[in-house]
Chains A and B, each alone.
Chain A
């Protein structure tokens, strides 16, 4: 990562032995640089070269894992400042905060039930944070027990007093919670505690400088499962600090900041809190902790996370096939659209809200949208007619009517000729489908 082919080549044997499967050492170096080959396939690379290449190719931000089993949240190992340069890899962990002065069991139960289904995907709130506001070890421990009993999701424990943290870890250390936080005052004890239990540790300075200093001290104690918090709580300052963590790690390979980051919202009003969380989610926080716990508050945030972490180089496509919406019969209407997932799911959503059981034929356009596919001749009368044939529609329904998107109304004649079906021109925008279906099929 970050090394060019030529920089790697300097460390290789330069014998062109071909045993790696590539014709020359230079070709092998190029393949390594683009992550298409692994150094292990070279039998002659020296240990020194290996060490040099390993440390140079170590990701600029370490991966840290919180939680166990199916509920592990992987954080970090990001390589970019902007998603358009490549992509962001490990979605921000979104954590809901529960105070030990709350009814922890009830809140945890509500939290655990949070999951969302939209556009064919499931979104989950993946972390729960439990905070010691009571200052009482027994109370905190009881809250942790209550939360752990209600959810298996990854946990964050927030307490400044190592003695209180120790009591909590006695209950849930095997769940590998994130221990928050080591500070200038408690870092020696907190580090020993996290290290002995093998739990990741958040490090919070009062500034970037103090955070760097603390990381250095903790690394000197031989512990590196760390998550960074610069200690700021004003939105604008947190944004600046998160930006510096990411920039210095990625651009300068500044090792003291080569860890994932955490940001905790400071706003009390849930709307302002969602807005603040949105800033941190957009700009580089690997964990965002917030108090808001209502569905309508979390759905927008989880959706933004999903969008932000998609791979910009990949058109997102659904499988090109015939889909059922509701339980369609042999008389139900049929809509045709492309297999660009955004288009497909918008159409599906609208057909669903028409409450008339239907079928949607998604035609393979290589994951591009209606107009682009039409312009590119990937959504032509021939292609749609062939897709109708292949879909088995003719056996499933009695009628021979199909609805095409309004934007390609011009295809009507050719498609009727090509397929022998009656073609109905639907609305241009999916938002018109409900009305269209009521007018035509109700």
Chain B
């Protein structure tokens, strides 16, 4: 009996964004990475082309991440006082496809490093690895607004992904990206209307930037509101495929950062004997968070635990197999 497969007909596809630039293109990356371009819901190859794999990123801080769970020391402790060495280890040893540098040292409470220092850190990491880079500030807008431009200029030609732009504070980072042809992370607080509005505002500043936006819809960790961001992502992706161009951007999420804020990832085994072994539990908390978002349409996953990255990589291999 022949079952008539139900294929959705979509009017639009997700835009493609190229990250990084090789020497021919004015940069120094060994290769570029293209994200987005989906013509169907996640991994439903039978109804449309999924031209690019979701990308796996490891996060690197420019200060020693003393607040991280102690289990990370054995993975990163030998390199985490040097962002360039840390980034190199993530790429060479752990198979990270991109690196996200979080410029924590810019935080006025954590060293208050100058915009020039921040730009120098980015240059140093660019020299250490060949993969395209994601650069985000310390999270305090008044300071971050001062560092975007020097970084964008220092890395001109590298086609960075720089962030984050928020509804209340998007102009400085947008103009830094515009002037130096970088891509931008547009972050909205688990709200599809704000997500769209911010994309429109950035596009109004520069139509060229409209094709350089990566959306961060803000993701929550498993157990701490993941279902809200999962549904926002599903709605955004459905909207994109049904023709809403201002939602048709690839999506990024800080999976590692969020998952490792959860008590379930961090509580020592002896404190929660009912939850099983801590490090394994934590990396599976991160893995499960990532797997859920892969089903709602995430394109760039910023991970933390190298073993979680490994599991997700092999799962993406499986999910990318044709199923038509």
Contact = CB atoms under 8 A, between A and B. Distances in A.
Interface of A: 82-84, 115-119, 208-210, 212-213, 216, 234-237, 239-240, 243-244, 247-248, 251-252, 254, 256-257, 271-272, 274-276, 278-279, 282-283, 294-297, 299-301, 303-304, 307-308, 310, 312, 342, 346, 349-350, 353, 431
A244 B276 contact: no
A300 B234 contact: no
Nearest to A292: B284
A216 B3 CA distance: 12
B315 interface: yes
A256 B307 CA distance: 42
B222 to A, nearest CB: 6
A278 B231 contact: no
Nearest to A210: B1
A84 B274 contact: no
Interface in B280-324: 280-281, 283-285, 287-288, 291-292, 294-295, 307, 311-312, 314-315, 318-324
Given A234-B321, A272-B315, A431-B261, 8 more contacts: A115-B274, A116-B274, A212-B3, A239-B319, A295-B274, A312-B227, A312-B231, A342-B225
Main secondary structure of the interface of A (DSSP, over half): helix
B323 A240 contact: yes
Contact of A304 (B1, B283, B292, B318): B292
B321 A213 contact: no
B295 A283 contact: yes
Interface centre among A239, A300, A310, A342 (most CB of B within 10 A): A300
A115 B224 CA distance: 20
Contact of B44 (A115, A240, A294, A350): A240
A422 to B, nearest CB: 26
B2 interface: yes
Interface of B: 1-3, 5-6, 43-46, 222-228, 230-231, 234-235, 238, 261, 263-264, 267, 271, 274-278, 280-281, 283-285, 287-288, 291-292, 294-295, 307, 311-312, 314-315, 318-324
A123 B174 CA distance: 45
Nearest to A294: B276
A184 to B, nearest CB: 12
Contacts of B6: 244, 247-248, 251-252
Contact of B235 (A84, A209, A310, A431): A84
A236 B231 contact: no
Contact of A236 (B238, B285, B323): B323
Given A243-B44, A252-B6, A234 B292 contact: no
Contact of B288 (A247, A252, A274, A310): A274
Given A248-B3, A282-B291, A300-B285, A349 B263 contact: yes
Nearest to B295: A282
16 contacts: A83-B234, A119-B223, A212-B3, A236-B322, A251-B6, A274-B284, A274-B288, A278-B295, A282-B292, A283-B295, A295-B274, A297-B280, A300-B222, A300-B288, A303-B264, A310-B227
